[in-house]
Homo-oligomer: A and B are copies of this chain.
Amino acid sequence: MKIDELDTPALLIDLDRLEANLLRWQRHCDQLGIRNRPHVKTHKIPELARLQIAHGAAGVTCQKLGEAEAMADGGVDDILLAYNIIGEQKLERLAALHRRINLQTVADSAEVALGLQRAALAAGKPLKVMVECDTGMNRVGVPTPEGAAELARLIRSLDGLEFSGFCTYPASFEAAAFFAKAREVCRHSDVTVPAISMGGTPGMWQHAALPGITEYRVGTYLYNDRIIAAHGDASLADCAATLLVSVVSCTGASWVTIDGGTKTFSSDQYGQTGFGILLDDPDTVVVRCSEEHGVLQRCGEKPSLQVGDRVRVIPNHACIVSNLHDTAYAVRGDDVVAIWKITARGKIQ
């Protein structure tokens, strides 16, 4: 099948670019001697998780239990579930998943650790738990190195749990200093720290070399997007995910209108002007969006496009785009070479 035969809007993944992105990053991790554990949130597709592992990734990272279940169903057997798992329903599911695969998860409090212990005992199999730390994100995590070391000691003491290291998001020099201190406190109480895991595509080329780091988690790096290119971690030529859309109206004085809006691109902007740019002409911008319409302008003027013309848009934020689509079309040149179901889409539980 050719791209021309696809209806619009459609999410396209350029396989040549994707593979180059995977290779480049894996080589970097190998050179540094750190584990690459990419986050599936950007693609939510088991085939791509397996491709990441085939390229050398040690396993993957998931943020929701439902995502991890979808990946396990798709043949992935080494998962870090980097989220505080709370509540008996989820703990039962966690135990069931833990029986099936090599699972590791996190905790940032004793309450969470005690729940994980129940799941581990129910599964009848020791569960590795990292201590999640807040090294500046102000979201979740133990906020001090001393507190992190104390939780590590607690986890080590709980029957059924294994303390497997410290993790944080995003990577930073402050995080490296935090973990150096936490390690030092652990050393005094004879707690071994098997791993230091950090993450984040922005800054990944620098941050993966931070002192002490043993594992790096990246999400967007396989697709890249307008935000990552603006940050300088990739170029627009490395962006593998685009939205194929059609022009549906040219009645505007200074714009044309396409059949994709916030339901196609999301409303994420993170400082970008508009919601995306054309693959073939980055000066043409999706300047405004409602749910089902996007308005294109080229340097403030009407682009030379007609009703029925099709264009490809590089979105601002690829991760959230994957959460809006049920299907992704893998392309090489003009050919559609695979159709992937985005099976972890919408797995918010």
Residue ranges of A at the interface with B (Cβ–Cβ < 8 Å): 7-10, 41, 63-64, 83-84, 86-87, 89-90, 108-109, 111-112, 134, 138-143, 147, 246-253, 255, 257, 259-260, 262-264, 266-268, 288, 290-293, 295, 306-308, 319-320, 323-326, 346, 348-349
Contact = CB atoms under 8 A, between A and B. Distances in A.
A266 B261 CA distance: 14
User: Which 4 A-B pairs have CB atoms at the shortest separation, nearest pair first?
Assistant: A140-B249, A84-B248, A111-B307, A7-B89
Given A84-B249, A87-B7, A108-B249, A139 B293 contact: yes
Given A7-B87, A86-B308, A90-B7, A141 B249 contact: yes
19 contacts: A7-B90, A8-B349, A9-B348, A41-B292, A63-B291, A83-B259, A84-B307, A86-B247, A86-B248, A87-B246, A108-B249, A138-B295, A139-B252, A140-B249, A140-B257, A147-B251, A263-B323, A291-B319, A323-B324
A264 B348 contact: yes
A134 B86 contact: no
Given A134-B251, A249-B140, A292 B348 contact: yes
Contact of A251 (B143, B248, B307): B143
Contact of A86 (B108, B140, B246, B293): B246
A140 B293 contact: yes
Contacts of A90: 7
B346 A251 contact: no
Q: How many copies of this chain sit in the oligomeric assembly?
A: 2
Contacts of A41: 291-292
Contacts of A268: 262, 267
A349 B263 CA distance: 11
A164 B90 CA distance: 53
Contacts of A143: 251-253
Contacts of A87: 7-8, 246, 308
Contacts of A109: 249-251, 307
A260 B141 contact: no
A86 B307 contact: yes
Contacts of A257: 139-140
Contacts of A290: 139
A268 B269 CA distance: 10
A246 B262 CA distance: 27
Contact of A308 (B108, B111, B324, B349): B111
A319 B290 CA distance: 11
Given A262-B320, A348-B264, A139 B295 contact: yes
A263 B323 CA distance: 7
B263 A320 contact: yes
Most buried by B among A41, A86, A108, A249: A249
